[in-house]
Chains A and B, each alone.
Chain A
Amino acid sequence: MKHILRALALAMCVTLFAAAPASGQERSATKQGFELAPKSGKKILVFRPSVQVGSQSTGGMFEPNGEWTDSAKRNLQVALEKLQTKLGNEIVVAPEAYGEDAQKLAEHMALFAAVSDAVIEYQFFRGNRLPTKKRDNKEDVFDWSLGAGVADLPGAKDADYGLFLYNRDAYGSTGRKVLQVLAMLGPGIPVKSGEHQGYAGLVDLKTGDILWLNADAAMGGDVREAEGADKRAAQLLEDFPGSDLGQ
């Protein structure tokens, strides 16, 4: 019922935040007490990094580009390996999901997005904090979860943590964002993007608790240069627990 209003409120947060990037707005948080050491022997599962690459025209249209997509697919493996070494722990790619598994995964992705929205809107954004979340902030509490249902997601049995990467782009594809993140860490595929919202979250695959979240609603800007792309990727995965990306 209130989704439209909420959406507008979030839009306002985003706009205000984008206008004043130095206002001390939080972008990421870690669950109290959670630590992930480099080379801890823990496995991190990345969900369905499907691939789409294209460019952005002046009018703001995403133009899918098949050849880029093909080369991106070839490069994905390389990028993953790079990512893995930079993230400090072992990365496993989730198996392709079909049927009910795919539905379950899609619903969890949607929940992850909704939770990320809520975190940005009601805990990170200073002007709009919920009173109870304000208190949480003071006490350094970051208590959000996707629930224990994540344990049944495809591939979850074989890993400790799940890395959810979610993006809302004009074409509704989560895959493109994932690719961008990976590609930017990798061989520098020229991915152009006009996207603005990117969420990355590390989730405990037994409890569903969000251990680390980088929910940046203002990743915007016209990242047309490789340099800008690198910056963006670093932004999304900065402070990733156990990684040396933030430094």
Chain B
Amino acid sequence: MRALLAIAATLWAAPHAAAQQMLPPPYQGVYQPQGVDEIGLWREDDEAEKELAASPLVIRDEALTAYVKHVLCETVGDDRCNSVRVYIIREPTFNASMSPNGTMRVLSGLFLRVRNEAELGAVLGHEFGHFESRHTLQAFRSRRTGSDVLAWGALLAGMAPGYRTMRTYQDLQLSVYGSLFRHSRDQEREADRLGVAYLNRSALRPQAAGDMWQHVMAEAESSASVRGLKKPNFNAIAFTASHPPNGERAAYLTELAASDGDARDDGAARYREALATWMPVFLDDQIKLNDFGASDYLIQNLAQNGWTDTLWLARGNLYRTRGTQRDFIAAAQFYQNALALNPALGEAYRGLGLSLIKTARRTEGQAALKHYLQLSPDASDAAMIRLMLPEENSQ
């Protein structure tokens, strides 16, 4: 371990000056698989893509998919991104992957972890880096020779005969979620390096890669501390599982970023606009996972570009659901903040009303619920809410 760190230190200390100019290598052009292993891997991948395309979990929104593809192209360049097929999967975890045949899978949880196009581009570029370097094939080969036994332990355990649980998981993961191979540390470094190199050459701000990394660590720490755990489970985040040590990584990502790129636009406004319809949905998916620390961190992180009605509403729901008395008072305030920005946000009136009723402010609460029904007369729970109003309450 210590030896590894030492090697890492020399590896990353040496090219310090050169790092500033880090640019991607010339693109090799359209690639065709070679050799038995690779051709086989592609075949299998084509099959997996077919299954993926038929999955109920794929979000079939052309605009969103096109936007992600666009950010990928902005990052890695049109020549590179052309052949990529992007699939967005409704899954509330932070991950993306790219498989050998050019299928990019983006899990919807990713959209809450990035705040702008540059950060999104950093993740997509990192994954594309694995693809361009054909790490999956290398991982596959090293896996076969058993040189990476530890890293593959979990995966092999999943294939132990008889454990249907794991098999089911594997089915989903490998066909729908795709071959989310665990890469080796060196491969992660290489992908990191390529990811930043793409950004350096792009019109986006390359420092975003380091920023995003820090946020991911902070989210895990927040999640753990609210749950009263001593240590965050970094293994729970795909991007940190087998990745270079945290401190090292944050440092070298920042170091590799072209310093003159710091002033570039990071595309925060465009990102927010493109995600406008989906952000409430993805936020809802997150706050209902009962992970208060992570959810609250994510909301506040997204709010660094300014609070929106959607963010306040999500935060109100988050606090109301945790449900301490303090939470209800905080939640009521958050809902009011949301309504200050968007007085037509019916759902905020609902949350406000319920929170007020729970803090013994029944009359005000009922007034809020009345607003909710006026704004959303066809809400799925309208009949239930109506029962909570004074007129209908006197049966």
Is there direct touching of A and B in the complex, by C-beta distance under 8 Å? yes
List the interface of chain A (C-beta within 8 A of B). Answer: 3-4, 7-8, 10-11, 14-15, 18, 50, 52, 54, 57, 59-61, 63-69, 97, 102-103, 105-107, 117, 168, 170-173, 175, 194, 196-197, 220
CA–CA, A52 and B146, complex, Å: 23
Residue of A nearest to B53 (CB): A102
In the assembled complex, 25 residue pairs joining A and B whose CB atoms fall closer than 8 Å, in A order, are A8-B163, A11-B162, A11-B165, A54-B40, A60-B159, A61-B143, A64-B37, A64-B44, A66-B36, A69-B43, A97-B54, A102-B53, A102-B54, A107-B56, A117-B164, A170-B159, A170-B170, A171-B44, A171-B48, A171-B175, A173-B44, A173-B47, A173-B48, A175-B47, A196-B161
Rounded to whole Å, the gap between the CB of B105 and the closest CB of chain A is 14
Q: Which chain B residues border A52 with CB–CB below 8 Å? A: 43-44, 47
Q: Which chain B residues border A103 with CB–CB below 8 Å? A: 54-56
CA–CA, A52 and B39, complex, Å: 11
CA–CA, A8 and B44, complex, Å: 28
CA–CA, A103 and B167, complex, Å: 21
Rounded to whole Å, the gap between the CB of B274 and the closest CB of chain A is 25
Q: Contact between B51 and A172 (Cβ–Cβ < 8 Å)?
A: yes
Q: Which chain A residues border B56 with CB–CB below 8 Å? A: 103, 106-107
Q: Which chain B residues border A168 with CB–CB below 8 Å? A: 164, 167-168, 171
Q: Which of A11, A57, A170 contacts B164 (CB 8 A)?
A: A11
CA–CA, A60 and B167, complex, Å: 14
Q: Which chain A residues border B37 with CB–CB below 8 Å? A: 63-64
Report if B156 contacts A (CB, 8 A): yes
CA–CA, A66 and B34, complex, Å: 10
- On chain B, the number of residues with a Cβ less than 8 Å from chain A's Cβ atoms is 38
Rounded to whole Å, the gap between the CB of B136 and the closest CB of chain A is 12
Q: Which chain B residues border A14 with CB–CB below 8 Å? A: 161-162, 164
Q: Contact between A64 and B50 (Cβ–Cβ < 8 Å)?
A: no
Q: Contact between B156 and A50 (Cβ–Cβ < 8 Å)?
A: no
The interface bits of chain B over 139-158 (1 if a CB of A lies within 8 angstroms of the residue's CB, else 0) are: 00001101000000000101
CA–CA, A175 and B165, complex, Å: 21
Q: Which chain A residues border B174 with CB–CB below 8 Å? A: 170-172
CA–CA, A11 and B55, complex, Å: 26
Q: Which chain A residues border B44 with CB–CB below 8 Å? A: 52, 54, 64, 171, 173
Residue of B nearest to A4 (CB): B165
Q: Which chain A residues border B144 with CB–CB below 8 Å? A: 57, 59, 61, 63
Known contacts being A60-B156, A168-B171, is A66 close to B55, with CB within 8 Å?
no
Q: Contact between A10 and B164 (Cβ–Cβ < 8 Å)?
A: yes
Q: Contact between A7 and B163 (Cβ–Cβ < 8 Å)?
A: yes
Q: Contact between B40 and A59 (Cβ–Cβ < 8 Å)?
A: no
Name the residue among B41, B47, B144, B170 with the largest chain A CB count within 10 angstroms. B47
Q: Contact between A66 and B43 (Cβ–Cβ < 8 Å)?
A: yes
Rounded to whole Å, the gap between the CB of B177 and the closest CB of chain A is 10
Q: Contact between B39 and A105 (Cβ–Cβ < 8 Å)?
A: no
Report if B172 contacts A (CB, 8 A): yes
Residue of B nearest to A14 (CB): B162
Q: Contact between B161 and A220 (Cβ–Cβ < 8 Å)?
A: yes
Residue of B nearest to A194 (CB): B161
Q: Which chain A residues border B159 with CB–CB below 8 Å? A: 60, 170
CA–CA, A103 and B54, complex, Å: 4
Report if B33 contacts A (CB, 8 A): yes
Would you list the 7 A-B pairs with minimal beta carbon distance, nearest first? A66-B39, A64-B40, A172-B175, A7-B165, A102-B54, A172-B171, A7-B164
CA–CA, A67 and B38, complex, Å: 11
Residue of A nearest to B163 (CB): A11
Q: Which chain A residues border B53 with CB–CB below 8 Å? A: 102
Q: Which chain B residues border A197 with CB–CB below 8 Å? A: 167
CA–CA, A63 and B174, complex, Å: 14
Residue of A nearest to B156 (CB): A60
CA–CA, A52 and B49, complex, Å: 13
Q: Which chain B residues border A65 with CB–CB below 8 Å? A: 36, 40
Report if B42 contacts A (CB, 8 A): yes
Q: Contact between A173 and B175 (Cβ–Cβ < 8 Å)?
A: yes
Residue of A nearest to B161 (CB): A196
